[in-house]
Amino acid sequence: MSCNLYAEAIADQGHIAIKVHGFECSVTVALGLPIVRTSVDHGTAFDIAWRGEADPQSMIEALRLAARLAKQRG
């Protein structure tokens, strides 16, 4: 799956584009921090918790990106 970069100043505005163009692999990156911080772009999904229905792809992508960014920082 190929993903693009979308940048926004206000998260709610950017999530519109993300939800239309690749919500499954979207990741939020907090910039300007002394640490690498990534997170998934979805909520907690309490309605499907513990049912085995959740798609882990966004979490996998967040972890992969965090590892790649941390490696680049040295």
Where are the chain's structural domains?
Answer: 11-73
And the tokens for 23? 């919500």
Whether 13 has a pLDDT exceeding 80, the answer reads no
Q: Give the bridge partners for 45, in sequence order.
A: none
In the chain, the amino acid numbered 23 is F
Residues 6+ apart with CB under 8 A from 21: 4, 6
Q: What is the reported pLDDT for 56?
A: 87
| pLDDT class of 66 with cuts at 50, 70, 90 | very high
Burial class from Cβ neighbours inside 10 Å (0-12, 13-18, 19+) for residue 31 reads exposed
Residues 6+ apart with CB under 8 A from 51: none
pLDDT higher for 19 or 73? 73
Segment 66-71 mean pLDDT: 95
